[in-house]
Amino acid sequence: MNDILKVTGLARSFTQGGVTIDVLRGIDLTVGPGEIVALLGPSGSGKSTLLQAVGLLEGGFDGSIRIDGEEAAKLDNDGRTRLRRDALGFVYQFHHLLPDFNATENVILPQVIRDVEMPAAKARAESLLTALGLGHRLDHRPSQLSGGEQQRVAVARALANRPALVLADEPTGNLDERTADVVLSEFLRLVRGEGSAALVATHNERLAQKMDRVVRLHEGVLQGA
Ligand SMILES: Nc1ncnc2c1ncn2[C@@H]1O[C@H](COP(=O)(O)OP(=O)(O)OP(=O)(O)O)[C@@H](O)[C@H]1O
């Protein structure tokens, strides 16, 4: 089967004050359909930099990133935006929900952007939120939700458009240990149920072991990829 993600020779440097740091020094990584990969590495090892590259959120990289068979380097801005919208879902450490919209509306929004009709978008939002145990919180705004509940809404939003690949950057890093465990387990169950693949950055070894495969960023290269 075709890989959902194929990264080859990905390199990224930052120059500041005349000093250049090679953060990524030739990353090779493939993620198959439905595969959930933990990206482990200490703080500052480049996990977010790698996710930003794969998320087509930043330029300035050397190497190849193929998502769902499409070479990102060959796309213009509009093409990257389309691929991001059609193939990717994002979860961050902080939820980034829209404060004036309730939980359901936050999950409807990315679907409306893809021209899903409102009744279908609402049904999908409610079904995802209910699957995450938020059936009684559908009308709550983010400020009326706990941290764990906010992250669940962010997970539902990331999955709303059935992305081939979910990119998650420390998705439970802002939660206490017990809540992080519960939310991560729910995230993994839902992603598996949906058949999406996922690349999940964490520095939590214990949480990483719950995923299908672990790769480690060390001195700019990936081990176990
Ligand atoms: N825009 C930038 N300009 C200069 N240096 C940067 C920039 N973005 C990241 N870096 C540097 O790249 C390195 C990797 O940062 P990155 O945020 O990718 O690490 P990380 O593994 O995600 O860390 P953490 O677990 O703390 O989030 C760091 O040394 C950081 O200072």
Question: In angstroms, what is the span from residue 97 Cα to ligand 1's centroid?
Answer: 24
Residue nearest atom 4 in ligand 1 by C-alpha distance? 14
User: Which of 67, 4, 12, 60 lies closest to 37, judged by CA?
Assistant: 4
Q: Phi/psi at 131 (nearest 5 deg)?
A: -60, -25
Mutation probe of ligand 1 site: the residue of 12, 19, 21, 93 with most atoms within 8 A of C-beta:
21
Residue 169 near residue 139 (C-beta atoms within 8 A): no
Ligand 1 atom nearest to 52, measured from its CA: 18
CA 138–ligand 1 middle distance (angstroms): 36
Please report the pLDDT score of residue 214 as a whole number. Answer: 96
Span from the CA of 102 to the centroid of ligand 1 (angstroms):
33
What is the Cα–Cα distance from 42 to 181, expressed in whole angstroms?
A: 20
- Give the torsion sign (CA, 216, 221, 224, 225): positive
Please tell me the distance between residue 45's alpha carbon and the centre of ligand 1 in angstroms.
Answer: 7
Dist. CA 14 → ligand 1 center (Å): 9
In this structure, what DSSP letter does residue 28 have?
Answer: E
Tokens matching residue 137: 């919180």
Q: What is the pLDDT of residue 2?
A: 82
What pLDDT, in 10s, does the model give residues 118-142?
Answer: 999 999 999 999 999 999 999 999 9
CB 51, CB 199: distance < 8 Å: yes
pLDDT tens for each residue of 175-225: 889 899 998 999 999 999 999 999 999 988 988 999 999 999 998 999 876
Class for the domain spanning 5-223: alpha beta
Q: What is the pLDDT of residue 71?
A: 94
pLDDT of residue 138: 97
Q: Please tell me the predicted confidence (pLDDT) of residue 219.
A: 87
**Residue 198 C-alpha to ligand 1 middle, in angstroms?**
21
**Mean pLDDT score of the chain:** 93
Whose CA is closest to atom 30 on ligand 1?
A: 44
Nearest CA to ligand 1 atom 6: 14
Give the predicted TM-score (pTM) of the model: 0.94
Q: Whose CA is nearest to atom 8 of ligand 1?
A: 49
Pocket around ligand 1: residues whose beta carbon is below 6 Å from it? 14, 16, 21, 23, 41, 43-49, 203
